[in-house]
Structure 1
Amino acid sequence: MRYSQDHKAQTYQRILREASARFRRDGIAATGLQPLMKALGLTHGGFYAHFASKQALVETVLREATAEMDTMVAEAAANPTPLEALIDRYLSEGHRDHPERGCPFPTLAAELGQRGEPSEIVDEAIEGRLALIAKLLQGEDAEARATVLWSSLVGALVLARSVKDPALSTRILEDTKRSLKASYTQG
């Protein structure tokens, strides 16, 4: 049975959405292709009609997730206090509690680094994010400050998601927010 191009495009998008949520929530290694496709009511073999490999899916998901996060940074930039908006949104309890809808790097950065297979998409994504944040900063050291800010945001979210104690998790978010705002938003 042949399907229309529209059906194929819709299936492709369904695979991307489900894989994106699972990669962000569970990680790449923990996301098997067979369970992924089964969750969508599709066969494992059908995956290869859309992607050459799991790595191709990972890179596509990273590109899409990065574009989503770039939109978040752009929305923060439109705020009267853009750095505060970015810090508040990134270190929110909602972002902590829903990794499947958030930035991919708190979940995937360590795993991607441990795989020993550097990816140009990761470099592009991080460089792009740093450039967007640097535009929000003042001064000749904006690039270096953007690196520290981005690293602090990602690191704090990793730690907040890692602990069992909800009060400690919230404290990590709130203390980091307070410190970053003091360092980055007051001239």
Structure 2
Amino acid sequence: MRYSSEHKQKTRASILTAAGQLFRKEGYGGSGIDGLTRAAGVTNGAFYGHFRSKSEAFRAAVASGLEDLRLAVGQLKADGGPSWLKNFVDIYLGAKRTCDLGESCALPSLSPDVIRADVDTRATYEAELKRLIAEVADGLAGAETQRSDDAIALLALLTGGVTLARAVPDKAFGERIAAIVKQRALEMTTHPDTA
């Protein structure tokens, strides 16, 4: 039976969504093809019709996760005007820090596995990360180089902050970590000459 291109696109999107959630939740090593196909509700044949391997699905999930973050930043900038950065930091250290791990941001949840991934996956990650940095930098104040540097530092601070706050079992300590990171992130991206 031949499927329409729309059906194929929906199947691929379903697999990619399930793979992204499973890789975030269980890590690359904790997720096998059987688990991916079960989570997506497809057969192994359907999976291999879209991805040649688990590593290719992981690469696509990483790219998709970083693209989703970049698009969300763009939307926050469009909707929030000058307050976009505060809104971004609030969401990142709030809802995206406390949501189910399968729904968490790709940066803190997938980056540790990217470190151990093949060169193609790492190159894909780098390319998407550079796009994300450019999107964030475009919404910051200061000279071009300063904005890019601030975007890198901001993303690293937020990612590390979420990682630390998620890792501790003491909820109050996790909240303290998030509050400190939020304060520092906003201080770091506000320059006296543009405030």
1:90 counterpart residue number: 92
1:179 counterpart residue number: 184
62-71 vs 38-47, which deviates more? 38-47
1:104 counterpart residue number: 106
Query: Is the 2:25–2:102 Cα contact (8 Å) retained in structure 1?
Result: yes
TM-score, structure 2 length as denominator?
Answer: 0.85
SS of 1:119's partner is helix
1:144 to 149, 157, 162: 149
Query: Is the 1:26–1:107 Cα contact (8 Å) retained in structure 2?
Result: no
1:19 aligns with 2:56: no
Larger helix percent: 2
- What is the deviation of 1:116? 5.8
- What is the deviation of 1:63? 2.2
153-162 vs 173-182, which deviates more? 173-182
Residue identity in the other structure for 1:182: E
Q: What are the within-5 Å matches in structure 2 for residues 35-184 of structure 1?
A: 35-78=35-78, 79=80, 80-92=82-94, 94-98=95-99, 99-115=101-117, 117=119, 119-140=122-143, 141-184=146-189
Residue identity in the other structure for 1:148: A
CA offsets 1:52-81 (integer angstroms, 9 cap, x no match):
111221122122222211121112213131
TM-score, structure 1 length as denominator?
Answer: 0.89
Pair 1:136–1:96, CA change in 2 (3 A) = same
**Percent of matched pairs sharing the same residue:** 27
Query: Is the 2:97–2:162 Cα contact (8 Å) retained in structure 1?
Result: yes
RMSD: 1.9
- What is the deviation of 1:26? 2.1
Q: Distance in 2 between matches of 1:62 and 1:53?
A: 14
Q: Distance in 1 between matches of 2:70 and 2:178?
A: 21
Q: Distance in 2 between matches of 1:40 and 1:145?
A: 38
